[in-house]
Chain A
Amino acid sequence: MSKKLIELRNVTKTYDDITVVDNISLYINENEFITLLGPSGCGKTTTLRMIGGFEKPDSGEIILNGVVVNELPPYERPINTVFQRYALFPHLNVFDNIAFGLKNQKVPKQEIAERVETALKLVSLPNFGARKVANLSGGQQQRIAIARAIVNRPKILLLDEPLAALDLKLRQNMQYELKEMQRKLGITFIYVTHDQEEALTMSDTIVVMRDGLIQQIGTPTGIYNEPRNRFVARFIGESNILEGTYVRQNVVSFMGVEFDCVDIGFADGEKVDVVIRPEDLDLIDPVGAKLVGVVSSSIFKGVHFELCVIVQEKEFVIHTYENKNVGQAVGLRVDSYEIHLMKVEN
């Protein structure tokens, strides 16, 4: 299961003196669903294009099954891509679009017909073969683009924000279906998105990027619960980030109060960043609470309320099921294992 399939070693790419991908290294296992996540412009697409063979790294190596493939053109890589804006061929119908890769591989006609029909069923568009591409809706075009790629049974499927243009409902359906497909077909998916929720839902592994640098690689829960720095903590969901001091083993102080904590690996007296997720803060009676504040706003978010509570002039975001009135005094409590500490970046 965990056989290393593709590896990036110190890969760097520069456009006009701007380093877009900066010395990144990572490896991807067979059958893995890996997501490159980061704000727009952080170099995700460029990384994906280097894996696909559309761009060459300036330095570093891309290694596929133990072989350096830097110089291999896209048409010789066992990799297929689902392009962001689908890139379906407008002069071909749905069938010929999907059969395009198979014809290049000189697959017999009979087999092509069967595999195209299977692929169409897989994306829930059976009998769509004769349709014109231009007459399909965005969601349907998206599915055809996926079918066109997976029909070739690639080792690796690259997907560049494939759902970005779809509306919310369709997007959520497709997230689920893509994940299912990946499980069923056993293809390695390398997925690019700037949507942290999408990344958390679908991925086995998330690579968080910023300005061409990898910030953190980990599982969705790992990255959510143990962000390595402020950027990751902020980017992956909402969080309260506070300045604190590591007093001694298992004790941290912030907001002028000492708390028990479980994180270790810091020196006594070291400055730390403290991360507390909004759902990990509990509202308690202000009397006797370590942190006391006043509710400054409350928004109903469907399932929970999002409260803003001002404590010592610092704003806390809290997710809670019980509403509080604006202006009401509340106490805040947090469990020791919900307090996550990070090294301070200079």
Chain B
Amino acid sequence: MNIKKLGKLVLPYLVWMSVLVGLPLLMMVVLTFLKSNALDLGTAEFSFDSWRILFSDVTVRIALKNSFVNGIIATIICFVIGYPIAYIVANSNFSNKLIILVLTIIPMWSNSLLRNNAIANILSERSIVNDVLSNIGLNFIWPIRGVVYESGFSPAVVIGLVLTYLPFMILPIYTVLEKIDKSLLEASMDLGSNKIKTFFKVTFPLSIKGVTTGIIMVFLPSFSGFAIPKILGSGSLVFIGTLIDSRFMNRNYNFGSLLSLVILLIIFGSMALIFKVDKEGETLI
């Protein structure tokens, strides 16, 4: 609460924030209560239509469910792969652990759309992999793209999500594991726990902050994003992100705004959870 002390220095920032964040947000809220032709406010009329659709339309529910299912699966896979990687790197004797971490981050420097398009290509029917597999009689395995389970689980989308967001799981977990005082592990062994017990009774509980941060950092973009489902999903599978995208594309700004608000609330809730678990924000690097 030192804003007052900074006085006029914060003014540009406040103006900037209100024009580029506050105003649009307010605009979104207003839009949800209107029925307008795109942003033509002259002909807009007051209406609860968007809110009614939100609670009655099955598509919204299916989209939320699909986003949730794929987001959760991607998050679990990221955790299952990411925790061991973070653990191994944190406990390795490599002189420069940072280099190994950078290796996991480097792919993030290339555009994720490009990467996911590449993945889409590999997973499709006309890929090298499918060529090879079908030539040795394994044509029932590939392509993965287009496979959708009843639950809404799309392996291709999950692969894209995992490959894109894995570093966000590894980094916060690595950060907390690295900070654990080695003498705590020795104390645990001194008091009769073998290595496995020590992991579950000391190491893992002490890394829970990093795990929470990692889960939220992977789940949120997986849940709300639209690019990856759009590139890797099959056309029939609707996600909350793609739904918003299509509403805006169809100039239905009212409903698009409302869906965006819903996601925003979910994100705020999750952030509140992070700050509750990790008050000092240590895991956020």
Whether A associates with B in a native complex is yes
Any chain A CB within 8 A of the CB of B181?
Answer: yes
Q: For A83, what are the chain B residues with a Cβ–Cβ distance below 8 Å?
A: 183, 186-187
The residues of B that contact A91 with a CB separation of less than 8 Å are 202, 205-206
Is B193 part of the binding interface, using a Cβ–Cβ cutoff of 8 Å?
A: yes
Mark interface residues in B186-222 (1 if CB within 8 Å of A CB, else 0): 1111111110010001100110000000000000000
Cβ contact within 8 Å between A89 and B190:
no
Question: Which of B187, B194, B197 is within 8 Å of A89, CB to CB?
Answer: B187
B128 at the interface (CB under 8 A from A): no
Q: Determine if A90 is an interface residue (Cβ-Cβ < 8 Å).
A: yes
Chain A neighbourhood of B191, CB < 8 A: 75, 80, 100-101, 104, 148, 152
Interface residues of A in 73-129 (CB under 8 A from B): 73-75, 79-81, 83, 85, 87-91, 100-101, 104-105
Of A53, A87, A101, A105, the contact of B184 (CB 8 Å cutoff): A87
- Judging by beta carbons under 8 Å apart, are A104 and B193 in contact? yes
A149 surroundings in chain B (CB, below 8 A): 190
A46 → chain B, closest Cβ, in Å? Answer: 14
- Asked whether B189 lies within 8 Å of A87 as measured between CB atoms, the reply is no
Give complex CA distance A301, B246 in Å: 87
Distance between Cα atoms of A80 and B192 in the complex (Å)? 9
Contact A80 B190 (CB under 8 A): yes
CB within 8 Å of B: which of A12-71? Answer: 52-54
CB-defined contacts of A87 to chain B, threshold 8 Å: 181, 183-184, 186-187
**Smallest distance from the beta carbon of A189 to chain B beta carbons, Å?**
15
| Residue from the list B184, B190, B193 in contact with A52, Cβ < 8 A | B190
Q: Interface on chain B toward A: helix, strand, loop, or mixed SS?
A: helix
Q: How far is the CA of A91 from the CA of B200 in the complex (A)?
A: 12
User: Within the complex, which residue of B181, B183, B197, B206 is in contact with A104, where a contact is CB–CB below 8 Å?
Assistant: B197
- The answer to whether B189 and A74 touch across the interface, beta carbons within 8 angstroms, is yes
Contacts of B183 in A (CB 8 A): 83, 85, 87
How many angstroms between the C-alpha atoms of A53 and B192 in the bound complex? 12
Contact B186–A73 (Cβ < 8 Å)? no
In the complex, the chain A residue whose C-beta lies closest to that of B201 is A100
Q: Given that A87-B184, A89-B202, A91-B206 are contacting pairs, would A81 and B194 also be in contact in the complex, using a CB cutoff of 8 Å?
A: no
A53: B residues at CB distance < 8 A: 189
B194–A75 contact, CB under 8 A? yes
Q: How far is the CA of A49 from the CA of B186 in the complex (A)?
A: 10
Chain A contacts for B184, CB-based, 8 A: 87, 89-90
For the complex formed, measure the closest distance between the CB of A157 and the CB atoms of chain B, giving whole angstroms. 11
The closest CB in chain A to the CB of B194 belongs to: A75
Whole-angstrom distance from the CB of B148 to the nearest CB of chain A? 42
Please give, as numbers and ranges, the residues of chain B lying within 8 Å of A54 by CB-CB distance: 186, 189
Complex contacts, B187 vs chain A, CB 8 Å: 81, 83, 87-89
> B31-60 interface mask toward A, CB cutoff 8 Å, 1 = contact, 0 = none?
000000000000000000000000000000
The digit string for B161-198, where 1 denotes a CB below 8 A from any CB of A, is 00000000000000000000101101111111110010
Contacts of A104 in B (CB 8 A): 191-193, 197
Is B202 touching A75 in the complex (CB atoms < 8 A)? no
Whether B186 contacts A74 by the Cβ 8 Å rule is: yes
Is there an interface contact between A73 and B190, defined as CB atoms closer than 8 Å?
no
Cα–Cα distance between A104 and B190 once the two chains are bound (Å):
11
Which residues does chain A contribute within 8 Å of B201, judged by CB atoms?
100
Q: Is the CB of A75 within 8 A of B193?
A: yes
Name the residue on A nearest B192 (C-beta): A104
Interface residues of B in 118-164 (CB under 8 A from A): none
Q: Which of B187, B191, B194 has the most CB of A within 10 A?
A: B191
What CA separation (Å) do A148 and B205 show in the bound complex? 19
Please tell me if the beta carbons of A75 and B192 are within 8 angstroms of each other in the complex.
yes
B193 surroundings in chain A (CB, below 8 A): 75, 100, 104
User: Nearest-CB distance from A100 to chain B (Å)?
Assistant: 5
Give the distance in Å from the alpha carbon of A148 to the alpha carbon of B181 in the complex.
18
User: Is A74 a contact partner of B197 (Cβ separation < 8 A)?
Assistant: no
Q: Tell me whether A101 and B186 are in contact (CB under 8 A).
A: no
Q: Within the assembled complex, what's the spacing in Å between the Cα atoms of A79 and B187?
A: 11
Chain B residues near A52 (CB-CB < 8 A): 190
Q: Which residues from B are CB-within-8-Å of A152?
A: 191-192
Q: Least Cβ distance of B95 to chain A in Å?
A: 14
Q: Digit string of A256-284 for contact with B (CB within 8 Å is 1, else 0)?
A: 00000000000000000000000000000
The answer to whether A75 and B189 touch across the interface, beta carbons within 8 angstroms, is yes
Q: List residues of A whose CB falls within 8 A of some B CB.
A: 52-54, 73-75, 79-81, 83, 85, 87-91, 100-101, 104-105, 148-149, 152
Given contacts A75-B193, A87-B187, 19 further A-B contacts (CB under 8 A): A52-B190, A73-B194, A75-B189, A75-B194, A81-B186, A83-B187, A85-B183, A87-B186, A89-B187, A90-B184, A90-B206, A91-B206, A100-B191, A101-B191, A104-B193, A105-B192, A148-B191, A152-B191, A152-B192
Of the A-B pairs whose beta carbons lie under 8 Å apart in the complex, a sample of 7, sorted by A's number, is A74-B190, A81-B190, A85-B181, A87-B183, A87-B184, A87-B186, A89-B187
Q: Could you list which residues of chain B lie within 8 angstroms of chain A, going by C-beta atoms?
A: 181, 183-184, 186-194, 197, 201-202, 205-206
Which 4 residue pairs are nearest across A and B when measured between Cβ atoms? A104-B192, A101-B191, A87-B187, A87-B183
